[in-house]
């Protein structure tokens, strides 16, 4: 149920309007249902809880009360739109650092702190009446106790509450995060994608590390070497051959 609505006229596009819900199945799904109506670009769907939160690769995203669950509706040109999902990892990491967690950016767009995941992004592209939309779904473990997350994710997850002594309200975190996404999206529309990918490359803490990337074709082990002009991770294997990795499981090896 919708429980509130906020406006910020100082924003360029992202988060000029935020619709606040108590519980939804998934903010990405709510956003996609709304695409049928003629709604403003940059609208944000924010929920206190999700009953069927979704992650990448068909995984579930545990969404207990206390966490931050939001989706931004955008209408970028369809070219490069996939890269937007990658780039939005930067404002998420920036927001976490702003509130005291010195998170890193794990390819493609996970925010991690000391090898434990603290935030994830599910970016989905959808056509509605020939118009391309991107729904950027962001989940942050803000005010969540680790034991509220499923036992299988606990060893590799963390939360803001666990890492920082100061209480950070979700509306405060969301406000800062949206201002950063607003800036990124404005750069995305006005700057060449190469420049943004260069920034991304500089912030991606996976680069230089040994990784195992698993796709439907099998597993490649090697060193995360670079980000390609299309946003793929270039992995150099032990024989010096380069492989491009985009979607699948990426494990950072010790
Ligand atoms: C991942 O790392 O696998 C992506 C997690 C994305 C979770 C967010 S929470 C808000 C939005 N709604 C969803 O159902 N998923 C995304």
pLDDT digits (tens, 9 = 90+) for 8-60: 999 999 999 999 999 999 999 999 999 977 799 999 999 999 999 999 999 99
pLDDT at 230: 92
What the block records as the tokens of 1 is: 């149920």
Q: What is the DSSP letter of 204?
A: B
The C-alpha angle 127, 133, 135, rounded to 5 degrees, equals 120
Closest ligand 1 atom, residue 119 Cα = 2
| pLDDT per position as a tens digit, 190-219 | 999 999 999 999 999 999 999 999 998 899
Distance 189 CA to ligand 1 centre (A): 24
Closest CA to 158 of 177, 139, 141, 137: 141
Instruction: pLDDT band for 241, please (50, 70, 90 cuts).
Output: very high
Using alpha carbons only, what angle is made at residue 96 by residues 244 and 5, rounded to the nearest 5 degrees? 105
pTM (two decimals): 0.96
Residue 110 Cβ < 6 Å to ligand 1: yes
Quote the distance between the C-alpha of residue 19 and its chain's center. 19
Q: Is the pLDDT of residue 78 over 90?
A: no
Q: Which two tokens stand for residue 214?
A: 């698993």
Nearest to 223 by CA among 213, 244, 209, 233: 209
Order of all β-strands in the sheet with 17-24: 2-7, 17-24, 44-50, 68-74, 131-140, 116-128, 110-113, 104-106
Q: Is the CB of 163 under 6 A from ligand 1?
A: no
For residue 88, report the distance from its CA to the centre of ligand 1, in Å. 13
Residue of 19, 23, 28 best suited for mutating to test ligand 1, as the one with most atoms within 8 Å of CB: 28
Query: Whose CA is closest to atom 2 on ligand 1?
Result: 120
Confidence at 183, pLDDT banded by 50, 70, 90: very high
Residue to mutate (ligand 1; options 25, 44, 48, 53; most atoms within 8 A of CB): 53
The residue whose two tokens read 């195992």 is 212
Verify whether ligand 1 is closer than 6 Å to residue 53 (CB atom): yes
- For ligand 1, the distance from its centroid to the CA atom of residue 199, given in whole angstroms, is 24
Span from the CA of 227 to the centroid of ligand 1 (angstroms): 23
137 lines ligand 1 (CB under 6 A): yes
pLDDT single digits (tens) 114-172: 999 999 999 999 999 889 999 999 999 999 999 999 999 999 999 999 999 889 999 99
Residue 27 alpha carbon, nearest atom of ligand 1: 12
* 236 Cα to the center of ligand 1, angstroms: 30
What's the CA-to-centroid distance between 254 and ligand 1, angstroms?
27
> How many CB atoms sit inside 10 A of residue 186's CB?
14
- The answer to whether residues 113 and 103 touch, using CB atoms and an 8 Å cutoff, is yes
């Amino acid at each position: 149920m919708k429980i509130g609505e906020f406006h910020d006229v100082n924003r360029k596009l992202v988060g000029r309007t935020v619709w606040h819900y108590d519980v939804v199945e998934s903010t990405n799904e709510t956003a996609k249902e709304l695409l049928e109506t003629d709604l403003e670009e940059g609208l944000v769907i924010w929920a206190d809880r999700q009953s069927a939160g979704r992650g990448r690769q068909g995984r579930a995203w545990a969404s207990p009360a206390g966490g931050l669950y939001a989706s931004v509706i955008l209408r970028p040109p369809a070219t490069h739109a996939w890269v937007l999902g990658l780039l939005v990892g930067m404002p998420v990491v920036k927001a976490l650092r702003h509130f005291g967690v010195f998170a890193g950016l794990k390819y493609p767009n996970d925010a991690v702190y000391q090898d434990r995941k603290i935030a994830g992004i599910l970016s989905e592209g959808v056509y509605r009446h020939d118009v391309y939309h991107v729904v950027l779904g962001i989940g942050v473990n803000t005010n969540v106790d680790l034991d509220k997350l499923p036992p299988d994710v606990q060893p590799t997850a963390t939360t803001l509450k666990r890492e920082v002594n100061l209480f950070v309200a979700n509306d405060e975190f969301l406000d800062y995060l949206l201002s950063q996404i607003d800036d990124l999206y404005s750069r995305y529309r006005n700057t060449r994608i190469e420049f943004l990918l260069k920034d991304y490359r500089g912030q991606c803490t996976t680069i230089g590390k040994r990784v195992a990337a698993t796709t439907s074709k099998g597993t490649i082990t090697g060193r995360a070497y670079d980000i390609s002009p299309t946003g793929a991770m270039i992995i150099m294997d032990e024989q010096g051959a380069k492989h491009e990795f985009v979607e699948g499981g990426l494990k950072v090896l010790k």
